[in-house]
Structure 1
Amino acid sequence: MILKSAKLYGQEGLWNIEIKGEQIVNLLPADDFIDSSHEKVIDLAGKLVLPPFVEPHIHLDYVLTAGTPRWNQSGTLFEGIQCWSERKLVVKETKEDIKRRALKAIEMQMKHGIQHVRTHVDITDPSLIGLEALLEIREEIKPWMDIQIVAFPQEGIYAYPKGDELLEEALKMGADVVGGIPHYEFTREDGVQSVKKSLELAYKYGKMVDIHCDEIDDEQSRFVEVVAAEAYKLGMGELVTASHTTAMGSYNDAYTYKLFKLLKQSKINFVALPKANLHLQGRFDSYPKRRGLTRVKELLESDINVCFGLDSIMDPWYPLGDGNLIRVVEMGLHACHMTGYNDIVTALNLITSNGAKTLNIEENYGIKKGNKANLVVINTESEYEAVRCQSPVLYSIRNGEVIVETKPAETKMNIPEFSKQFSE
């Protein structure tokens, strides 16, 4: 296969991408000779080509459950957890039910060019049925998508009976990443201990870590310093992620200045969830209302890795969502005051290379000679327009095969006088 006249993300000029079997075998300037022996040539006419999108934070066991047994009327994180706890008592889903919902969401993600996913799975359930379902899906869809599974103690490692034992059992069953939720534990001391437990287990089993950390507007919720300090002491910061960290948006600047020194030394990663946290946070404020997001711009300026994720698709914590990460980028740029030109033209890093670094898949990720032919083509000729116009994915290519193809909508203006103005 040849992808002719491709605009490579972040690079000047047009390129021909030569693919043989599952690999990219050549990247040549568009004017160079094209081997005519290839059976398939797709002329992209300058369309933008990127590595596949990376979803670093989703809950595939929760998707499409909003409204059962009831809607989260307050919109708070805590009512969402309560709704989910109630649902587990009254809705007796089978493993097949969970897989059916998750696969519907995965189809949405694939349509939007996502090929790498980190999903959290609730393990505060003695049956561990959600984990079983996602472990099966992880293997079944490997040809089209890579999935990492986080063993996530939604109701706490210590706040839930035998939560620590369930967490370790989930790792033995095959979860890839150790989770945690320290701000939901009963006390500050339990929260600190839960962080230490998560990293201890990760170190013991050779796993990565992804903590739901400080997802609250309380400026005194400071578990991110514990995550960073423990990761630094163990020398495993690049394998550790702090997700949400919305309390950081409420920290005073003096404390934040001190904190950033530790964050940089630790080398931990951050995931921000703009759509979900704009919805969830600030619910206890009257006015002014906090944005409820972490300090994305400042983290990036300090060369600390940050990526964007969606978090939810129609669940008790977020009633919307369709798997489209470019919409997340647009929302995040607005909410984080990142609408300068340079912020915009590099924004897709937040759902590509930065996400790959968070998932620790950088080694084989990207459009490079010798890498797997995994990439997406979007319907635009510039990075700026990709964000401004929310350009859709035209092709998603996986291991040298087109797995998704979308024909863009066409709009015809039936106003002759109006159209004439543009032709003169």
Structure 2
Amino acid sequence: MPDSRPRRPDDNAPDSADAATTDPAPALVLSGARLADGRAVDVRLGGSRIEAVGTAGSLTSRGPRIDLRGYLLLPAPAEPHAHGDTALTADADGPGPASHRSEDIQRRATEAALLQLGHGATALRAHVRIGDVQGLAALEAVLQARRALRGLADLTAVAVPRLLTGVAGAEGLALLRDAVKMGAAV
């Protein structure tokens, strides 16, 4: 596996871990892009990482340069309100409702997050119903999807109990406490 440590652009000497691998592609520079705050910048990309950001015209590279003057460069969008436990169930094939088995919820939550990632969203906030018949099973499935997506997308699972107040809300509060211990947000 190639070494993923960042390297200076002028560092051509491979170390022993890199000896068996091919040289990485030269860095790409996005030049003259306008940020939301109005600044014009250059961005140097190497591999799958941002290597450097500098004022327009300040970054060099042996690789290609793309002129982005006149274009706005924005961060990746986020999906603030998804439903991880019921994702992709609207067009469920077959008789009856979509499956609520943990492995099916995990598969659908992962697939939905990857679809969002394909459209540029790298952060997702998924609301998951807890309590009722499933207890915390749907939440655990979405948390498994979050672990599977680590390094690709940032999936936040938000636990949503049916009730939080009154006598009936006591169970919801207890479930919410357990959900937070499992790693859910509120």
Q: Normalised by the size of structure 2, how large is the TM-score?
A: 0.67
Structure 2 unmatched ranges of 5 or more: 1-26
After superposition, the Cα gap between the structure-2 partners of 1:118 and 1:91, relative to the gap in structure 1 and judged at 3 Å, is closer
Query: Are the equivalent residues in 2 in contact too, given 1:3–1:16 (CA < 8 A)?
Result: yes
2:127 aligns with: 120
Aligned positions of 1:128-143 closer than 5 A: 128-143=136-151
User: For the structure 1 residues 110 and 92, does the alpha-carbon distance in structure 2 shift closer, same or farther, using more than 3 Å as the test?
Assistant: closer
SS at the partner of 1:56? strand
Whichever residue aligns with residue 95 of structure 1, its letter is: S
Instruction: Give deviations 1:180-214, integer Å, cap 9, x for gaps.
Output: xxxxxxxxxxxxxxxxxxxxxxxxxxxxxxxxxxx
**In the alignment, does 2:155 pair up with 1:147?**
yes
Q: Which has the higher helix share?
A: 1
Aligned counterpart, 2:73? 49
The structure showing larger relative contact order (alpha-carbon pairs under 8 Å, at least 6 residues apart) is 1
- Which of 161, 180, 184 aligns to 1:171? It is 180
Structure 1 unmatched ranges of 5 or more: 69-86, 179-424
Query: What does the per-residue CA deviation read over 1:267-303, in whole Å, with 9 as the maximum and x for residues that have no partner?
Result: xxxxxxxxxxxxxxxxxxxxxxxxxxxxxxxxxxxxx
Residue aligning to 1:17: 43
AA matched with 1:36? S
Q: Does 1:35 align with 2:57?
A: no
**2:112 corresponds to which residue?**
105
Match of 1:5 in 2: 32
Residue 128 of structure 2 contacts residue 160 of structure 2 at CA under 8 Å; is this kept in 1? yes
Task: Assess if the C-alpha contact under 8 Å between 1:124 and 1:156 holds in 2.
Answer: no
- Cα deviation for residue 36 of structure 1 reads 2.8
For residues 284-343 of structure 1, give each alpha carbon's deviation from its aligned partner in whole angstroms, at most 9, with x where no partner exists. xxxxxxxxxxxxxxxxxxxxxxxxxxxxxxxxxxxxxxxxxxxxxxxxxxxxxxxxxxxx
Change (3 A) 1:96 1:44: farther
**Per residue, is there more strand in 1 or in 2?**
2
Counterparts in 2 of 1:137 and 1:43: CA distance versus 1, 3 Å: farther
Take 2:37 and 2:178, find their aligned partners in 1: how far apart are those partners?
Answer: 43
Over the aligned positions, Cα root-mean-square deviation in angstroms equals: 2.8
**Does residue 59 of the first structure (1) align with residue 83 of the second (2)?**
yes
Any runs of at least 4 consecutive aligned residues in structure 1 with deviations exceeding 4 A, and if so which? 158-161
Q: Is the 8 A contact 1:19 1:26 kept in 2?
A: no
CA shift digits 1:363-407 (9 cap, x unpaired): xxxxxxxxxxxxxxxxxxxxxxxxxxxxxxxxxxxxxxxxxxxxx
Query: Contact 1:52–1:113 at 8 Å: present in 2 too?
Result: yes
**Which residue identity does 1:100 align to in structure 2?**
R
CA contact (8 A) 1:117 1:145 kept: yes
Q: 1:307 — aligned with what? A: none
The alpha carbon displacement at 1:11 in A equals: 0.8
Percent identical pairs in the alignment equals 36
